Amino acid sequence: MSFRVLLDEIRTNLLQVTTRLQIPEVSFTLEPAKSEFGDVTCNIAFLTSKHLKKRPYDIAKLISDEYQKNLGTLVSKVEPHQSGYLNFYANNAQLNRLVINAAKDAIYGMVDIGKKSRVIVEHTSVNPNKALHIGHVRNVVVGDTIARILSKANHDVVVLNYVDDSGLQVADIIVGFKHLGFSETPPDGQKFDNYCGDEVYVKTTEQYAQNKSLEEIRNNILKELEDGRSDIAKFGKSVTNRVLAEQLKTCWRLGAYYDCLNFESEIVRSHLWPDIFEKLKKMNLIKYESEGKNAGCWVILSQDEDKVLVRSNGTATYIAKDIPYAAWKLGLVDDPFYYKKYSVQKNNKVLWQTTLEENRDPKQHFRSNVVVTVIDSRQARLQNIITELISKFDSSQKSYLHLGYESVTLSADTANVLGIDTKGKNTQMSGRKGLYINADSVLDMLEQKTIDETKKRNPDLSNESLHEIASKVAVATLRYEMIKQDLDKIITFDYSKSLSLDGDTAPYIQYAYARAVRILEKAQAKPDFEASYELLDSEYETNLVKLIGRFDLNVEDAANNLSPKVIAKYCHNLAVTFNVFYEHVKVLDSENADTVNARLCLVHSFKSCLENALNLLGIETPSRM
C-alpha cells in the first residue's frame, strides 16, 4: 500500500463526480505533482475543454467544487489552478500512517506485473580469453539490475551467461600457448584472466601481422575446437574454464549472480544446429545461393541485406550459432542438455552449467517464452535479424528481445594514461590492442579511496570493518556509474571524473542511509508504529513520506520500460530528500516524546525503503562510512 492508494481513491471519486456533472468520459491522467501544486494533479480539464466549449480553468473549478463536497479519506483539499490543472492535496496524517507502516515491510514496492511468469535474462557473456573490462561491467550491471527489477515485478527470472568457448578469440590464446611459448602459469599473483587478456591475447594478435602462417594455424585450431574430441579442444576447455572461473569472481564481486552457464561448444556439438537448419529450409526462411557474391552459401532472407548463415565450405557462421541458442532459450526445440552444479554462489543460489554428458543431477528447466538478451547496441543489426527470423519461425506468444546499450569509451586523458594519443577525442576500448580499463583495478582504486575517506571520519573502526565498507562503497560506486544514465548514452570513463565519491553518486546515497542508521542507533527507544502521525507536518517530513510512497510506481515504470536508471534516479531522489530533512529536522532533539517517536518511525521507514530500492541496483548499505 502506498501513494497508489491515494491515486486509486481519487480516480474512483473523480469518476463519480464527472458522472454527476455529466462530463464526458475521457482517459485523464492522475500523477504525482510537483510540491508547489499539491500532491496529485489531473489534466481532465484540458481534455474536455474542447467538447464542453469551456476554458480549462472553469471546468477544473466546476469539478473541484463538486469533489470538495465529499473528500473521502485521503484527500484534504481540491483546487483548480489558473493553468487549468486540477490539484489534489493529501490528508497528510492519513497518508503518513499508511506509507510509513507499509514501507517497513520487506516486500514493499512489489508490483504484480509478471504474475509469476518466467523471463530469461541473458547477460555478461564475455569471451573466456580475457578479464572483464569496464565495458563488460556495463553489461553485467545492466543485466543484473534488470533481473532484480523484473523479480520485484513478480516475474520468475532465470539468468543465463553464455560462454563463447569455441570462437576465434579462444583460438587466439591457444595459438599463444601452443605455438608462441607462453607459459600456462601467470607470473606470481596475477589473475589468470588478466594474464590471458593482457599478455597472451594482445601479444599473440600482434604477431599475426608479421607471421602469416600463424593465421592458418589458428584456423585449424578453430576447427578442432568445434569438433570437440581433439587434444586441442580439451586444452581449450581447460584454459577457458580457468578464465571463466576468474571472470566469475569479478562478476560475483560486483554482486551479479546467475542460474546457468551455457557453453557454445556444447550447442555446437549438440544436434540443435542440424535440426534447426532443416526446419529453416523446410519453412523457406533461408535460401541456397547458386550465383552472385554469396554463391554456394545458405543465407537468411531478411528485409535487410541477406546474411550468410552457412559458408560455401559448409561451416556455420557466428549467427548460425546464435539461432539455435535463441531457439533453445525460447523452448522451440527439444532440450538436448543435462545439467550439473557449477557452484553455490554467495547469495546461496546454485549455479548450474549445461553438459552433454548424462549425470545424476536433476534435469533443469531454464527456458521461457520471453527472453531478454543484454548485448551492446553495436550488435543491434544482427540481433534484429535473429528477432525477425524467430518471429517467422514461431508466430505464437514468444518474444525475443534485444536490450541494447551504448558502449563505454575512454576519455582522451585516460587514453593518454594508457599511452595512446587520441588528439583530444574519446576512444573506443579494444581488447585486441590492450586498450581498456580492467574492472577489478577500478574496484581496487575505489576501495582504497573509500578506506582513506572512511578512516578520516571513523578513526576507531577495525581494519575488517574498513574493508567491508570499502567493498560495499566501491561496488556501489561503479554499479551506479553504469546505470544512472540512459542505456542509449555513451559512458565516457575518465580516471579523475568517474571515481568521484561526491554529488550524484552511490556514496551520497549510502551516506544518507548511514545517517539514518545512526539516528536509530542513538535513539533511546525503538520506534513505536502506533505513532501520532499528524505530528509529521513540515514539508521536510511530508515530502519524504510521499516519496517513500512512490516506490512501487517507480518499480512499475522501471520494469515496464526495462529501464534500470529509473530506480537509480529514485534512490538518489530519496537520499536528497532525506538529507534535506536531516539538515532541517532534529529527530532526537524534538519538542516532545511523541514527536521523537513519530520521526523515528519515518526514519526507520526511509531506511527500510532505501535499502529495498538499493537492493534492486545490487547496492549494499553500510551502517557507517
**Residues from 209 through 238 that contact RNA (CB under 7 A):** none
Question: 172 near 273, Cβ under 8 Å?
Answer: no
> Minimal CA–CA distance to 585: which of 571, 570, 573, 602?
602
Q: How far is the CB of 360 from RNA (least distance, A)?
A: 32
Single out the segment in contact with RNA by CB under 7 A; choices: 93-101, 272-280, 313-321, 352-360: 313-321
Q: How far is the CB of 545 from RNA (least distance, A)?
A: 16
How many alpha carbons fall within 13 Å on the CB side of residue 592?
5
Please, which of residues 250-269 interact with RNA by CB under 7 A? Answer: none
Q: Looking up cell 557473456, which residue turns up? A: 125
> Closest CB to RNA among 334 and 537?
537
Neighbouring C-beta atoms of residue 436, cutoff 10 Å: 25
User: Residue 212: which residues within 8 A CB-CB, separation 6 or more?
Assistant: none
> Minimal CA–CA distance to 553: which of 74, 250, 108?
108
Mask: binding to RNA, 546-575, rule CB under 7 A, as x and -?
-----------x---x---x---x--x---
Among 41, 207, 416, 615, binds RNA (CB under 7 A): 41
Q: Which three cell numbers stand for residue 266?
A: 556444447
Q: Looking up cell 539516528, which residue turns up? A: 519
Radius of gyration of the chain (CA): 29
**427: DSSP letter:** E
Q: Give burial (CB, 10 Å; 0-12/13-18/19+) of 239.
A: buried
Kindly report the length of the chain: 625
Q: Distance between CA atoms of 405 and 145, rounded to whole angstroms?
A: 13
Q: Distance between CA atoms of 229 and 541, rounded to whole angstroms?
A: 68
Q: How far is the CB of 487 from RNA (least distance, A)?
A: 8
Establish if 347 lies at the interface with RNA (CB under 7 A). no
Please, which of residues 465-484 interact with RNA by CB under 7 A? Answer: 469, 473, 484
Amino acid (one-letter) located at 110: M
Establish if 34 lies at the interface with RNA (CB under 7 A). yes
Q: How far is the CB of 215 from RNA (least distance, A)?
A: 11
Establish if 297 lies at the interface with RNA (CB under 7 A). yes
Q: Compute how many residues bind RNA; rule: CB under 7 A.
A: 90
Establish if 57 lies at the interface with RNA (CB under 7 A). no
> Closest CB to RNA among 354 and 454?
454
> Closest CB to RNA among 127 and 270?
127
Q: Distance between CA atoms of 368 and 122, rounded to whole angstroms?
A: 12
Among 241, 465, 532, 579, binds RNA (CB under 7 A): 579
Mask: binding to RNA, 413-452, rule CB under 7 A, as x and -?
------------x--x---------------------x--
Please, which of residues 500-539 interact with RNA by CB under 7 A? Answer: 501-504, 507-508, 511, 514-515, 518-519, 522
Please, which of residues 354-393 interact with RNA by CB under 7 A? Answer: 377-382
> Closest CB to RNA among 364 and 597?
597
Mask: binding to RNA, 122-161, rule CB under 7 A, as x and -?
-----x----------------------------------
Establish if 87 lies at the interface with RNA (CB under 7 A). yes
Instruction: Please list the helix, strand and coil fractions of the chain in percent, rounded to the nearest 5, in that order.
Output: 50, 15, 35
